[in-house]
Structure 1
């Protein structure tokens, strides 16, 4: 005669998972749901009764009702290399009408009326469960920095990191930046040199004019022609400006000398 199929719906249906560490009592729940229109007696058994505490370990489930069974694993020294061989079995039978004594129900039950479901025990540590959830390619996921993403060149990422890094005060500037600053300084010095050369040419013209005026005045004095007060004042004005102009010429010569040495 064929064995009866389990009438209860078990959650979880195949295995009971216990997550460590196992230095204290670890509890997992087993839900038993009765979808039938009959009362069902249940009993929970285990191959390691000294290692577990089950509450409730037996009872009656009314039609359409559900019972939550707490399975408590007692503390022990966990060895990850040792596979768990512990198993549980949920045995059920339809409750006779007016049944009150559970021991009598199980004692009088026939083998062909019994239904059962088996579950194995699984022990897990927190890091083992995380390792199983993590996918092989998650180490370089999209939320990590660019240099860890697949398809990116590592050297390019390093260069980008160096370029975007904040500049520290007191550190030497890159060679390209230093060269650019030198070019700017040279251009400024060249412009200053041109300005001084133009000033020197202007002063040279003024000195030549002064010489011409001086010669003209000397010739006029030698010929006995009187010179107007206006002309004398003009000569004095030119003479008063001649000395500062000469100083400017000398300064321009020295500056030009030093610029020439700096540029060369």
Structure 2
């Protein structure tokens, strides 16, 4: 048990919280502030040294200075039913103002010189409520029709029969439909001319023209619908 009260201010003071998921390294910062007028040496120890990486795990804090310690939890298979028993201890001692060799300071210290503070590790996973809040925020966000440069995208223009261009397209469609009918009649007449005409490739030319005409009609009708 420490004989002296801890002189440095530790933040957080009691719990080291690690937020999952724990499929990657999770880092939590531990701040050590020295409010005294003397140098303080520190060491950070843990009951599970293989599970954590601590940088720096020891050092010296000047009077009035603050040191940030990064505690990195290594990836592992998290079991929410298993309560964490991992703990950390921040151990400190006063150092002479002229001290430069920390190993010597720790070596010369007696158990009564040590000041200890213990923290427990807490593992947290994102709650379902947080996930739902993210979804609701996404749904509540207004959806704007805009271009990549931030300008408003043009609204689709509805087709109108009073539009001159639309009338022109309709007339063109009617003309093409008439041509298709005329080509169909010619095709039937050519088929009736005899076996010789039907055996030659020229007998299939009107059919090809019908297909081409149908393609043009589909093109103009597609433009009309869009």
TM-score range with shorter-chain normalisation?
0.5 to 0.7
CA RMSD of aligned residues (A): 2.0
Rounded to whole Å, the distance in 2 between the matches of 1:29 and 1:90 is: 13
Instruction: Tell me which of the two structures has the higher relative contact order, counting C-alpha pairs closer than 8 angstroms and 6 or more residues apart.
Output: 2
Measured after TM superposition, the shift of residue 97 of structure 1 is 3.3
Deviations for 1:83-106, whole angstroms, at most 9, x for unmatched residues? 000000000000123222211211
Per the alignment, residue 10 of structure 1 pairs with 10
Partner SS for 1:126: coil
Deviations for 1:101-147, whole angstroms, at most 9, x for unmatched residues? 2112111111111101000000000117859xx9xxxxxxxxxxxxx
Per the alignment, residue 201 of structure 1 pairs with none
Structure 2 counterparts to residues 231-242 of structure 1, below 5 A: none
Rounded to whole Å, the distance in 2 between the matches of 1:58 and 1:10 is: 14
Per the alignment, residue 71 of structure 1 pairs with 71
Q: Mind listing any 5+ residue stretches in structure 1 that lack a counterpart?
A: 135-264
Partner SS for 1:123: strand
Higher relative strand content: 2
Measured after TM superposition, the shift of residue 2 of structure 1 is 7.6
Deviations for 1:202-232, whole angstroms, at most 9, x for unmatched residues? xxxxxxxxxxxxxxxxxxxxxxxxxxxxxxx
Structure 2 counterparts to residues 4-43 of structure 1, below 5 A: 4-43=4-43
Structure 2 counterparts to residues 90-239 of structure 1, below 5 A: 90-127=90-127, 130=130
Query: 1:12–1:25: structure 2 CA closer, same or farther, 3 Å change rule?
Result: same
Q: How many residues align?
A: 132
Greater gyration radius: 1
Query: 1:129–1:121: structure 2 CA closer, same or farther, 3 Å change rule?
Result: farther
Q: Mind listing any 5+ residue stretches in structure 2 that lack a counterpart?
A: 134-226
Per the alignment, residue 165 of structure 1 pairs with none
Measured after TM superposition, the shift of residue 9 of structure 1 is 0.3
Displaced runs of 4+ in structure 1, greater than 6 A?
none
Normalised to the residue count of structure 1, the TM-score between the two structures is 0.48
